Amino acid sequence: MNFLTAKSLSRRTVLRGLGATIALPFLDAMVPSAKAAAKPVNRFLAFYVPNGMAMEYWTPKGEGGTFELSPILEPMAPYRNQMLVLSGLRASWNYIHAGASGSFLTGTPRGGKTEIEIIADVSIDQLLARHFSDETQLGSLELSMDTPANAGACTGILSCAYTHTLSWRSATQPLPMEYNPRAVFERLFGDTGRTDWAAREARMKQHKSILDSVTEKLTALKRELGPQDQSRVNEYTDAVRDVERRIKRAEEQSDIELPSLEQPQGVPPVFEDHLALMLDLQLLAFQSDLTRVISFMIGKEQSARPYPQIGVPEAHHPLSHHDNVPDLIAHMSKINRYHVELFSKYLAKLRATPDGDGSLLDHMMILYGSGISNSQQHAGVNLPLMLVGGGAGTLKGGRHLVYKDRPSNANLLVTIMDKMRVPVEKVGGSNGKLNIDTLAEI
């Protein structure tokens, strides 16, 4: 029998023994076809850090492949060959903290002008979510370490929506970020208490029974309605069909073995414990192919979280307005470095998780950084950004690229879409692609 034409073994097959679960290495039997092996699944993660950066501690020395890791980036040493540091980009919209997170994934050149005027553009995570929606149960996940606040003014006179999310479904529809691990678990696996398939199957059967009943009643109801009401019912029917699609995808993925994870009880009081849960849930979501797109804020803009555990008792946001005092900038850099340390621990888990002929990290594109550079000035130039991962063969790391002509971050977003094999002509205020494949622009 030709193994390339036979039914393939799940890429996530595990051997269960007494008190242990062992993941198998990549095997020929896990390759359904030569074509599939050549084009592994690519995933996208936006990992946002707030309140700008201590830029003198962030920017690497040197350009191209001979750069030196900066103090903030030193924890990235094990991933040097899979990191691409980008210097010289400017924010497409720079208005204190609103423009920082508001334009990070949208590339929008403008925002609202009042607390109730909420305007941006569709974010690339949502463009990718639309593309992958037929292949995964969830188009995307929007996650944060802070409680949501999509009403009221938080930055200048503008809405809190700008500071509390990266994701925009439309130019006027920001998406709330979920911060409760229990709610994230329930969205991924249902209110089952655990990740095993039997519990998920029982949940799906319940959903299917409800959906069958709803569909029959909708069909009968539409016969008695006028055109306008029928239109409203059609919108509702589309939502029902989306649930049906997710159930179908779940059934098709029933052979995926998941690591055991108990349902979280809520938000842990300790920051590191909370973060560990949120990152483990992200890992599970990617590993089980429940979604291929996640946007994550380790902190919202204007976050006042202190970090006494690393010797920084000051609140983050006030500290970021350091008046260019060297000692305060050094304290700010400790927070920036700590975020990178926590990020690098997550990368270690992604690298250790087999995925086809490589690892999850090999088959991911991660945009890490902030929408502000010098936080004292709310500066929107020379943003601290890097791309991490193999991008399923589309990313070449191990380089520091410095752009002299100050291109917009919106151009980078167009390039990310291209590397994700979901090309678009424009994102927000972009005027082309950002060249990240050669050093010609340096």
Q: Does domain 39-190+265-419 have CATH number 3.40.50?
A: no
Percent of the chain exceeding pLDDT 90 equals: 62
Question: Alpha-carbon distance 98 to 127, whole Å?
Answer: 21
Report strand pairing: 306-307 vs 312-315.
Answer: antiparallel
pLDDT of residue 29: 45
Lowest mean pLDDT, pick from 150-159, 194-203, 378-387: 194-203
- Which residues neighbour 192 within 8 Å (Cβ) at sequence distance 6 or greater? 199, 200, 202, 203, 263
Per-residue pLDDT tens over the stretch 227-275: 777 765 665 566 445 545 544 554 555 555 555 666 776 788 899 999 9
pLDDT of residue 314: 94
* HSE toward the beta carbon, residue 151, CA cutoff 13 A: 0
Per-residue pLDDT tens over the stretch 369-415: 999 999 999 999 999 999 999 999 999 999 999 999 999 999 999 99
pLDDT average, residue stretch 28-37: 46
User: Exposed e or buried b for every residue in 183-219, given b needs 16+ CB within 10 A?
Assistant: ebbbbbbbebeebebebbeebbeebeeeeeeeeeeee
Per-residue pLDDT tens over the stretch 347-359: 999 999 999 899 9
Question: Alpha-carbon distance 42 to 44, whole Å?
Answer: 7
The pTM (predicted TM-score) of the whole model is: 0.79
Question: Alpha-carbon distance 165 to 11, whole Å?
Answer: 34
pLDDT band for 14, please (50, 70, 90 cuts): very low
Is residue 280 packed enough to be buried (19+ CB in 10 Å), middle (13-18) or exposed (0-12)? Answer: middle
pLDDT band for 442, please (50, 70, 90 cuts): very low
Lowest mean pLDDT, pick from 53-67, 211-225, 282-296, 334-348: 211-225
Question: Alpha-carbon distance 293 to 42, whole Å?
Answer: 9
- On average, the pLDDT of the chain sits at 83
